[in-house]
């Protein structure tokens, strides 16, 4: 989400009011929702559920993978995978789950943890998406035909990396920005209408599995990218891809989450593989940026999922290969207020949520356990963990795909199916 310095908070509130008063407020058109922060502006959602959980509106079968849905204009878009031979972009009706159309294309190959990876990015008339093998398409939503397509790995002479290409395109003005995960460059920008390469950054650090996010920091729009290697956080000019600033106080050998923007030009960085987390703050004098490290901590680390910022606190599924802290509440000073897996409090030892996704809507957190498939409705509070409802909604393994919410409908998926739950009239 785009956060501004303190003197612009009133403008931020006004912009938020405008946002929620428009029809598009109900959309979840890209990875992480309207502002890529896993927060929905919807209100009027139920604060409790029947014992069986929210009413199931529909369910459909899916191919294996982790590609999450995007929702725009009452339609659900999801990138499916057919065996190891084809990708298949599917468009479904949000109310019924009926498939309205699909766009399959050949994309042979296999990676570790096979299947689709990320959500499409949907505008009023186009959809941008990147398949697990690196196929990058811009599709016309009226004709359902490609306006252009690229292969963001092969175009730079590279094979697909071990865990595939987890890129959800980010739009900025006339640009569409992705990280191709190649040796000679880290972030590239194409013209959104033609697919022409507009700029490419220098090589920044080592190969990672994060994606760029466009933020306004210290009054300047920029693409923030997290990489592996000693210097791991970068701010890039959206004009030409040049480096504006960098930070080397935190390292992760396989970074996945992107940076979380916070008030007063702060960024929260987190990762698995014992990387822990860090908070930094940007300042600018003229054209020069300075980066101040506010804190680092080994007490918190999310391997896959994005943290949520709500009322001056961070809520994080602090889980990875090496740790299971469960859901954690942290102050912006790095103080841990509570966590659901606390060895000191055995009675407070569940749930873990494993590496499942979470989102915030109507002042409540929806947290999906990546191991059990249980969906939890939580009232965020720095005082204690407050669960409002819980139900088993999915089964299987590695239920890690981010969820989407639109018009009171929560859309979530496992490795073999996608469901729509009514969380407004459950």
> Which tens digit of pLDDT belongs to each residue from 277-333?
999 999 999 999 999 999 999 999 999 999 999 999 999 999 999 999 999 999 999
Given this model, what pLDDT does residue 158 score? 86
**Three-state SS annotation for 319-382:** ECCCCEEEEEEEECCCCEEEECCCCCCHHHCCCCCCCCCEEEECCEEEEECCCCCEEEEEECCC
Domain residue extents for the chain: 6-422
Q: What angle do CA 47, 52, 54 make, to 5 degrees?
A: 45
Per-position b or e across 151-169, b if 16+ CB within 10 A of its CB: bbbeebebebbebbbbbbb
Segment 174-203 mean pLDDT: 96
Given this model, what pLDDT does residue 8 score? 36
159: pLDDT confidence band, cut at 50, 70 and 90? confident
Q: Is the preceding peptide bond at 351 cis, omega within 30 degrees of 0?
A: yes
Please give the Cα distance from 335 to 264 (Å, whole number).
Answer: 18
Please give the Cα distance from 63 to 67 (Å, whole number).
Answer: 10
Check whether 7 has a pLDDT greater than 90: no
Segment 398-403 mean pLDDT: 97
Beta partners for 276? 271
Please give the Cα distance from 189 to 200 (Å, whole number).
Answer: 6
Given this model, what pLDDT does residue 342 score? 72
11: pLDDT confidence band, cut at 50, 70 and 90? very low
Tell me the pLDDT of the chain averaged across its residues. Answer: 92
User: Which strand (E) or helix (H) includes residue 17?
Assistant: helix 9-20
Segment 137-143 mean pLDDT: 98
Given this model, what pLDDT does residue 345 score? 54
Asked if 56 and 77 count as a contact pair (C-beta separation under 8 A), the reply is no
Please give the Cα distance from 68 to 141 (Å, whole number).
Answer: 19
Superfamily of segment(s) 6-422: Quinoprotein alcohol dehydrogenase-like superfamily (2.140.10.10)
341: pLDDT confidence band, cut at 50, 70 and 90? confident
Segment 18-29 mean pLDDT: 58
Check whether 344 has a pLDDT greater than 90: no
Nearest one of 417, 113, 399 to 254, comparing CA atoms = 113
C-alpha distances in Å from residue 297, one per residue of 67, 216, 301, 426: 30, 25, 9, 39
The lowest-confidence range among 79-88, 100-109, 152-161, 259-268 is 152-161
Check whether 96 has a pLDDT greater than 50: yes
Given this model, what pLDDT does residue 374 score? 97
23: pLDDT confidence band, cut at 50, 70 and 90? very low
Position with higher pLDDT, 151 vs 26: 151
Please give the Cα distance from 110 to 387 (Å, whole number).
Answer: 40
> Which tens digit of pLDDT belongs to each residue from 216-258?
999 999 999 999 988 999 999 999 999 999 999 999 999 999 9
Please give the Cα distance from 227 to 249 (Å, whole number).
Answer: 13
> Which tens digit of pLDDT belongs to each residue from 123-133?
999 999 999 99
Position with higher pLDDT, 346 vs 141: 141
- What is the percentage of the chain residues whose pLDDT exceeds 90? 88
Judged on CB neighbours under 10 Å (0-12, 13-18, 19+), 328 is buried
Please give the Cα distance from 45 to 71 (Å, whole number).
Answer: 18
CA distance between the termini of the chain? 29
Segment 165-177 mean pLDDT: 97
């Amino acid at each position: 989400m785009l956060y501004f310095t303190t003197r612009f908070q009133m403008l931020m509130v006004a912009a938020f009011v405008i946002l929620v008063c428009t029809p598009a407020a109900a959309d979840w058109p890209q990875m992480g929702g309207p502002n890529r922060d896993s927060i929905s502006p919807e209100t009027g959602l139920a604060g409790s559920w029947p014992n069986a959980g929210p009413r199931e509106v529909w369910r459909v079968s899916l191919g294996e993978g982790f590609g999450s849905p995007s929702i725009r204009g009452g339609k659900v878009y999801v990138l499916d995978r057919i065996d190891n031979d084809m990708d298949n972009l599917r468009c479904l009706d949000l109310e019924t789950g009926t498939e309205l159309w699909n766009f399959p294309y050949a994309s042979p190959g296999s990676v570790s943890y096979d299947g689709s990876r990320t959500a499409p990015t949907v505008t009023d008339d186009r959809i941008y998406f990147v398949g697990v093998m690196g196929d990058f398409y811009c599709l016309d939503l009226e004709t359902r035909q490609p306006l252009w397509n690229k292969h963001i790995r092969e175009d730079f002479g590279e094979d697909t990396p071990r865990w595939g290409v987890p890129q959800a395109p980010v739009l900025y003005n006339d640009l569409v920005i992705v990280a191709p995960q190649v040796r000679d460059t880290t972030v590239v920008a194409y013209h959104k209408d033609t697919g022409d390469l507009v700029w490419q950054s220098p090589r920044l650090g080592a190969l990672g599995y994060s994606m760029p996010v466009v933020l306004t920091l210290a009054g300047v729009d920029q693409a923030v990218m997290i990489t592996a290697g000693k210097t791991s956080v970068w701010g890039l000019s959206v004009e030409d891809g040049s480096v504006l600033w960098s930070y080397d106080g935190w390292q992760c050998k396989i970074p996945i989450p992107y940076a979380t923007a916070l008030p007063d030009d702060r960024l929260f960085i987190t990762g698995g593989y014992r990387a822990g987390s860090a908070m930094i703050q940007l300042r600018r004098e003229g054209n020069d940026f300075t980066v101040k490290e506010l804190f680092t901590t080994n007490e918190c680390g999310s391997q896959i999922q994005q943290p949520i910022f709500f009322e001056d606190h961070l809520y994080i599924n602090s889980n990875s290969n090496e740790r299971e802290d469960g859901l954690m509440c942290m102050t912006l000073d790095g103080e841990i207020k509570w966590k659901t897996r606390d060895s000191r409090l055995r009675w407070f030892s569940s749930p873990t949520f494993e590496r499942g996704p979470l989102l915030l809507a109507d002042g409540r957190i929806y947290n999906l356990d990546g191991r059990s498939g249980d969906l939890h409705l939580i009232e965020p509070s720095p005082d204690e963990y407050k669960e409002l409802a819980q139900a088993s909604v999915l089964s299987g393994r590695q239920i890690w795909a981010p969820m989407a919410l639109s018009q009171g409908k929560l859309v979530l998926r496992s490795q073999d199916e996608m469901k729509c739950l009514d969380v407004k009239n459950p």
